Amino acid sequence: MACCLGEPGGSRRRISSEQATFAPLASPLNYEIRLISTVPNQARACILQDAIEKADVLIEAMGWIRRFRDKVTVIKLGGSLMDDPVALGHLLVDIVFMETVGMRPIVVHGGGAAISRAMAEAKIEPRFIQGRRYTDEATLGIVERVLAGEINESIAQQIEDYGGRAMPLNFVGPTNNNVLFGERLTLTGPDGEPIDLGAVGHVTRVNREVLDNLTFAGQVPVIPSVCETDDGKRLNVNADTAATAVAQAVGAEKLVFLSDVNGVRKDKADPNSLINSLTAESARQLIADGSIESGMIPKVEACLETLSRGVGKIHIIDGRLRHSLLLEIYTNHGVGTELVAEPA
Tell me the per-residue pLDDT of 41-61, one tens digit each, with 9 for 90 and over: 778 788 888 888 888 888 888
Asked which of 203-212, 242-251, 284-293 is least confident by mean pLDDT, the reply is 284-293
What does the alpha-carbon distance between residue 38 and residue 50 come to, in Å, rounded to a whole number?
A: 19
Tell me the per-residue pLDDT of 150-165, one tens digit each, with 9 for 90 and over: 999 999 999 999 999 9
pLDDT of residue 295: 67
Q: What is the DSSP letter of 310?
A: T
Residue 328 has pLDDT above 60, yes or no: yes
Residue 70 has pLDDT above 60, yes or no: yes
Q: Tell me the pLDDT band of 17, cut-offs 50, 70 and 90.
A: very low
pLDDT of residue 102: 94
What does the alpha-carbon distance between residue 83 and residue 316 come to, in Å, rounded to a whole number?
A: 19
pTM for this model (two decimals): 0.81
Asked which of 131-140, 209-218, 256-265, 321-330 is least confident by mean pLDDT, the reply is 256-265
Greater pLDDT, 61 or 147: 147
Which of the listed ranges 8-22, 146-160, 294-308 does the model predict with the highest average pLDDT?
Answer: 146-160
Tell me the per-residue pLDDT of 23-32, one tens digit each, with 9 for 90 and over: 444 444 444 4
Residue 263 has pLDDT above 50, yes or no: yes
Alpha helical stretches, state H, the chain: 41-68, 85-100, 112-121, 137-142, 152-161, 208-216, 239-250, 280-288, 296-308, 324-330
Tell me the per-residue pLDDT of 186-200, one tens digit each, with 9 for 90 and over: 888 888 888 899 999
Q: What is the DSSP letter of 81?
A: G
Percent of the chain with pLDDT over 90: 46
pLDDT of residue 57: 81
3-state helix, strand and coil shares in percent for the chain, rounded to the nearest 5: 40, 25, 35
Mean pLDDT (the chain) is 84
Identity at 245, one-letter amino acid code: A
Q: Tell me the pLDDT band of 269, cut-offs 50, 70 and 90.
A: confident
Q: What domains, with CATH codes, occur in the chain?
A: 16-68 (no CATH), 71-340 (3.40.1160.10)
Averaged over 10-16, what is the pLDDT?
Answer: 37
Q: Is 173 left (phi over 0), alpha (psi -120 to 50) or beta?
A: left
